[in-house]
Structure 1
Amino acid sequence: MSVSPLQALPIERLRERTSTKWRAYPADVLPLFVAETDFPLAPAITRRLGEAIEIGDTGYTPPDSGIRDAYASFARRRYGWDVDPAHIRSTGDVVMGLVEILRATITPGDRVVITPPVYPPFYDLIPEVGGVVETVPLIADAGYTLDLPGIEGALARGARAVLLCNPHNPTGTVHSRDVLADLADLAARFGAIVVSDEIHAPLVHAPARFTPFLTASPTAASVGYAVASASKAFNLAGLKCALMLTAADQTRRVVQGLPQEVEWRTGHFGSLAGIAAFAPESDPWLDALLAALDENRRLLADLLAEHLPGARYAIPDAGYLAWIDLSELAWGDDPAERILAQARVALHHGPAFGEQGRGFVRLNFGCSPEVLRDAVERMGAIAR
């Protein structure tokens, strides 16, 4: 049965928001840069937060808020994954979770592999814990896949961890079970770990299927850690709640051994909203969101072909972020600068994702078709 796409809020209403997306630029700019979406919240979330505000339930997050059981239920329904709630701890956001896991598992000076083009904070969070960034770029000519021989070489030279983006930001790549299992085997062979950022997991588009890293193989369960959140799919980033996941006794001991303060950083409203997001009641909303994003990811391909035929764009298998190569337009290493200045459209700067991002932009299509069309038409006008 087909699902009716979720409708984005009118742009006039969106401009009443005070988050980064709607306050970073003047009102004449269409903001398609940061990973916030333009849709109304899932009704269960709105209702739960409203109830909390009505009774002044704005205190500290309790030790057992229910978020662990809620996520376990969600993972079972959506991914076919039986997560043991005892292997879950919460924290403020996904980057916090990644930082604290790496802080507990590497030694200052250890090298950590990342796979650019990749989420820009990866370049900062590794030095934050005393690690050294080692880049092994994705193989671009194969549809953006992990370079397993390159990762093997890095591990053989002494890298102690791989920081994985699964699904990958900004390319929308959904790594296959076989690739993830092979990565786990490499990590085990060299005594390394894999830390998997799975924030975009609820947003995988059919027929692609998300494989949680910890389920890829028994080896993956033994060498892996994952961090997840409802924040990207349900637009809850400002409420601060993420989950650190393990699937083996030794990795569970590491996460359970993190300072209590790591868990205290969990936002109470983030936990309440996450529980509502992960509830079965919110599944129809998520399905409607995916239907809207599916239409937009395909619409974007048509719009670029019509207005920016020099652009190269592969429809992503996950998320609402488009990785677009504009190098043929000769707009410089950072085309987002020209697009902002001349078209008044704010996109994310390609070079922020690594050297492989020169000539690229990242565009957020988690908006209405009308806003998406307006943005691409503006970009096309400066190409003529």
Structure 2
Amino acid sequence: MTEPTDELSAAPIDVLRSRTSEKWREYPDDVIPMFVAESDFPLAEPIARALHAAIEAGDTGYVASRTGLPDAFAGFARRHWGWDLADATVQTTADVSMGIVEILRRIDVGTGLVITPPVYPPFYMLADEAGATVVDVPLLETGALDLEGIERAFRAGSRALLLCNPHNPLGYPHDAGSLAELADLADRFDATIVSDEIHAPLTHSDARFVPWLSVSDAARRTGFALHAASKAWNIAGLKCALMIAASPRTTAVLRSLPVEVAWRTGQFGVIASIAAYTEGDAWLARAVRTIERNRHTLVRRLGTELPDVVVSEPRAGYLAWVDVSSLGLGEEPADVILRRARVALRTGSDFGPGGAGRVRVNIACDPALLEEAIDRIVVVADEVRDADRSRATS
């Protein structure tokens, strides 16, 4: 089937199989890998062009203390989200996770760091690396923040919250109203919000991303935002992220970081990120259209063929959260799906409370590959259902 011209085709399967990144090296070639957050799209041409030019010029030294990246990101944020960074402080580091840890090490988390599961599994490891105790305040069934639960945690002594916006694994961009209420809570309790916004450029056409530092004066007083081009343009291996502050207190924290935090930024990461933010809009729009197509396919097919399965339909990013507990695949359904369907998904239990019986599915792939993965999973589900019926009647 020919891809519509307004969508982005995935790289050919032989090219994907030749990649040496985690997604295409973890499992044998008979497995469809949909477990880790890498996309299957070809590298955006402006990024490839910028990297080739750097190689030809031998521009492979240390990252400079001043680059064009803050201005490039500011332009992107203004175009896409109406976010003015004129008064913000922007500093680079190797990746969002490193930025989170370095910030957490320098703020007061009180009796614990609030995390809102089910959530990106490394949040728990980052808290441990920073020496913080985790306080779980699960999301509401709707995917929204439990503001009453967060207030209770703040009253009990927690003084920081690690926000995932848009939320991974639900693909949920938190709305302006709930973010403003969270900012007021943080302001009242002298708490700090650290907002991981790495999936923001991948917000879908039927949703709106609200940057934390654009919400209110209270949000700017209380928080940090972390961004990267790594997920949207699939350049995580180049190592570059942005830490952003917009108040005297939070800016002082960024300026207190050791110089090595910025020096760990990858030179190629800076070069690629500038190209992404300044010339990558058209490529990104096509990628999002393909992801939206796959999102609709996943919801339609599972709703028709496995109606007891519940998909938390994402509105940002390319990760879908799916409740397969009704299929009778046991406590770790991802293990059964891998073994029997040869489709690798991320197991839900990794995401903390609320993850049992769930799987996370990466849909940033060729539509035909997604269809094949669904075909395989449906076959396994039917086999399990038939076996259960046979046992019940024997």
How do 1:1-384 and structure 2 match up within 5 A? 4-84=6-86, 87-106=89-108, 110-140=111-141, 143-279=142-278, 281-384=279-382
SS in 2 for 1:278: helix
Alpha-carbon shift at residue 315 of structure 1 (Å)? 1.6
Deviations 1:166-190 (A, max 9, x none): 0000001110111001001111111
One-letter code aligned to 1:271: V
Look up the equivalent residue of 1:196 and give its one-letter code: S
CA distance, structure 2, for counterparts of residue 256 and residue 35 of structure 1:
31
Q: Is the 8 A contact 1:72 1:85 kept in 2?
A: no
Instruction: Tell me the distance in 2 between the aligned counterparts of 1:44 and 1:230.
Output: 13
- How far off its partner does 1:375 sit? 0.4
Return 263-272 or 84-93, whichever deviates more: 84-93
Q: CA–CA distance in 2 between the matches of 1:43 and 1:246?
A: 31
- Deviation of residue 333 (structure 1)? 2.2
Q: CA deviation at 1:277?
A: 0.3
Aligned-residue sequence identity (percent) comes to 53
**For 2:87 and 2:364, how far apart are their aligned partners in 1?**
31
* Matches of 2:351 and 2:372, distance apart in 1: 26
C-alpha displacement at 1:10, in angstroms? Answer: 1.5
Residues in 1 aligned to 2:206 and 2:302: alpha-carbon distance in whole angstroms = 23
Q: Secondary structure at the match of 1:89?
A: strand
Cα offsets for 1:150-199 (capped at 9, x unmatched): 00000000001010000000001110111001001111111111000000
Q: Partner of 1:4: helix, strand, or coil?
A: coil
C-alpha separation in 1, matches of 2:17 and 2:218: 48
Query: What SS does the aligned partner of 1:195 have?
Result: strand
Q: State the AA in 2 paired with 1:16.
A: S
Which range moved further: 59-68 or 370-379?
A: 59-68
Q: Aligned AA for 2:354?
A: Q
Q: How far did 1:13 drift?
A: 1.5
- Find the aligned partners of 1:120 and 1:334 in 2 and give their Cα distance: 16
Amino acid of the residue matched to residue 83 of structure 2? W
Check the 8 A contact 1:139/1:147 in 2, yes or no.
Answer: yes
2-structure distance, mates of 1:307, 1:47 = 44
1:343-368 deviations in Å (ceiling 9; x for gaps): 00000010000121000000000001
- Following TM superposition, by how much is the alpha carbon of 1:308 offset from its aligned partner in structure 2, in angstroms? 2.6
Counterpart residue identity of residue 134, structure 2: V
SS at match of 1:84: coil
Task: Give the C-alpha shift of residue 301 in structure 1.
Answer: 0.8
Offset of 1:282 from its aligned partner? 1.4
Distance of 2:381 and 2:282 partners within structure 1: 40
After superposition, the C-alpha distances for 1:228-274 in whole angstroms (9 at most, x for unaligned) are 00000000110000000011121111111111010011000000000
For residues 356 and 328 of structure 1, do their structure 2 counterparts lie closer, same or farther at Cα, with a shift above 3 Å needed?
same
Are the equivalent residues in 2 in contact too, given 1:3–1:291 (CA < 8 A)? Answer: no
Offset at 1:54?
1.6
Q: Distance in 2 between matches of 1:64 and 1:263?
A: 10
Q: TM (normalized to structure 2)?
A: 0.94
Give the total of aligned pairs: 379
CA contact (8 A) 1:68 1:85 kept: no
SS at match of 1:134: strand
Structure 1 residues 3, 206: closer, same or farther in 2, change over 3 A?
Answer: farther
1:265, 1:106 → 2: CA distance? 24
8 Å contact kept, 2:88–2:244: no
Larger radius of gyration: 2
Unaligned runs of 5+ in 2: 383-394
AA matched with 1:226: A
Inter-partner Cα distance in structure 2 for 1:35 and 1:215: 27
Q: Which amino acid aligns with 1:134?
A: V
Distance (Å, rounded) in 2 between the aligned partners of 1:343 and 1:319: 25
Q: Cα distance, 1:86 vs. partner?
A: 5.5
For 2:51, give the aligned amino acid.
L
Q: Does the 8 Å CA contact 2:88/2:245 hold for their aligned counterparts?
A: no
Contact between 2:63 and 2:267, CA under 8 Å: does it hold in 1? yes
